[in-house]
Chains A and B, each alone.
Chain A
Amino acid sequence: MHARINLAEQPARPPRGGNAAAGARTLIAAREFSVFYGSKAAVDKASLDIPAGFVTAIIGPSGCGKSTFLRAINRMNDLIPGCSATGGLSLDGQEIYAPEVDVVALRKMIGMVFQKPNPFPKSIFDNVAFGPRIHGTGDRSSLGEIVERSLRRAALWDEVKDRLGDNALGLSGGQQQRLCIARAIAVNPRILLMDEPASALDPRSTARIEDLIGELRGDYTIVIVTHNMQQAARVSDMTAYFYEGRLIEFGDTGEVFTKPKEKHTEDYITGRFG
């Protein structure tokens, strides 16, 4: 069932900066984790701990394996023929790639937002209600409640409350992306994976999405892949830098951006390449 979130009693947001995230409980742990397309390693023996309740950004140039790593967490890579994974990737100590894992239950726990807003060609209501419906919530009134709560949480409610029956494709790009976020959180996930969620949006919509990420921080563990380094610096607590499939550096965002340990990271961040 979907636990009701009382907005008034939200836990205090974890503090930003000051290495707070580095000491937090680990939710997702990768150990020598690799993903192969055929025989080519897209992610090459990455090891990192993603802390619960914080925002972790994954940055790196195109083709560095950051999206592949993200899509490994909810096993979306399973859809790609010839894709395989080795090493350890665990969620709360449970191996994600273990054969007994129920992928449906796993994905229910992990919401995902894609690069291009991809609402279904259905009404706004049906989009948000899609997840709860397939997980067995049938009656209209509790669906309505979930839809309203999710849309409020995604800061979209006021804009669409009078036209929930309209086709979602009639919304603007930024609204569509927030709808996708509402759709993802409607199934009450613990983790939100965001694959360059603002790269297809204009600056204003991007700012709203970034604000929203700040709002959701604390309630969800967020892993965001981004091309935009300013964005990573603005929204994230932890940053992982991937290059050609390998994890080059992982640490507190402030540290990675101000005094990176690796020369390579510094070159990338300062715009020498990428």
Chain B
Amino acid sequence: MNLSEKLRTFISGKHTGNINTDGHAEDKDHYPVMEKILEATMVNTPLGEHFVVEKTYKSCYMHGEIKLDSVFNISPEILKLIAKNSVFESLDFSRAVFIDTETTGLAGGTGTLAFLIGVGFFEGNDFKITQYFISDYDEEAAALYSLSGLLKNFDSMVSFNGKSFDIPLLSTRYMLNRIENPLEKTFHLDLLACARRLYRERLESVSLSSLETNLLSLEREGDIPGYEIPSVYFKFLRDKNPYPIKPIFYHNRMDILSMVTLTVNMAKSFKAPFDSRNCANQDYYCLGRVFEDMRMFEQSIKCYQKALNVSGVRKRSYTQLSLLYKRLDHWQEAESLWIDMAKSNINTIFALVELAKYYEHKLKDYDKAAQITQKALETVYKKRTLVGYSLKDEIAELKKRLERIKRKREKHQSQSIIEEAY
């Protein structure tokens, strides 16, 4: 057996005599067809050639019922909320790129290539998408070089899941090609995190396609499912037939356009949360959390209040709102909420314990505090009978609390007696 035969039996366990009939990699005959079919241009760089596809969307272009340039109407305050981080108030969309890559796999690691890098940005009010395409591995350095050149004109990035996927992957590619990485210093807004914060309760999935269908009223035509992309590209590498990869370019552009639309949509949710076109149901709990974290308590309270009757987030909204009242020293509101909770059996033990704390520490009404703690204890016992598992810690804690309150009550009573005696 020669080495190849051995290899074949060793590796594949078959004698296929598989002769490699793939087109020779160095052939450039397909270039003209590619330029035509993909509407691509060959670009020369000091590091070699690569293809680029450019598309411009006029300022009136609508994507998902939204005009792209309406991102410019997003105020700094709203940007802070979208990012849940006040540094982002200075994000300037005229100096930002929307970036998305198509790769040879999702596994990550050094063996995954970003073969199509799409970058969307505004030129005036027009939106332009430049797609750097690597029609074979040896064009990578050239494409990365061009991307670096373009990024010099911008100081921010917007992505969807770019923080954990696209950007580390591109950073790896820059390092492997020994080119300075232009992505590290840039300001990066990852919309996946923002969208998850806002819509995770209402939507089962916050993938871009789910957001498009459920939120942005978008439908794609002639798209390719993401999981098919690597194999379609590998096939292209072998046969250089540009037709099957055309949808990948479309897919990439749609992703970028949807990022713009999604940003605008999120801005609306924060700007006019009570407009039913912008937000619904479980969103209010999520909005409440963001507003609370950003210390916009008035809005937060309004959102939580709206979420109190939404199934799925009801318990958490009650709990969160009551704690917010407590934090803001709105004790009466907090108390009435806790009473409601105890009555309607929403996170009852929590509510009772909070009430007990309130009566004990705030009102120093030890009778009431003891009474409520006793009730909490009974509830736990009842729960134990129902669920059948031990709630030792909870019981011990409540007992401890009850004893402390009783001690305080006695001390207080004896003190009052002494005072009265005087």
A and B from one complex: no
| Chain A residues within 8 Å of B, Cβ to Cβ | none
B binding-site residues for A, Cβ under 8 Å:
none
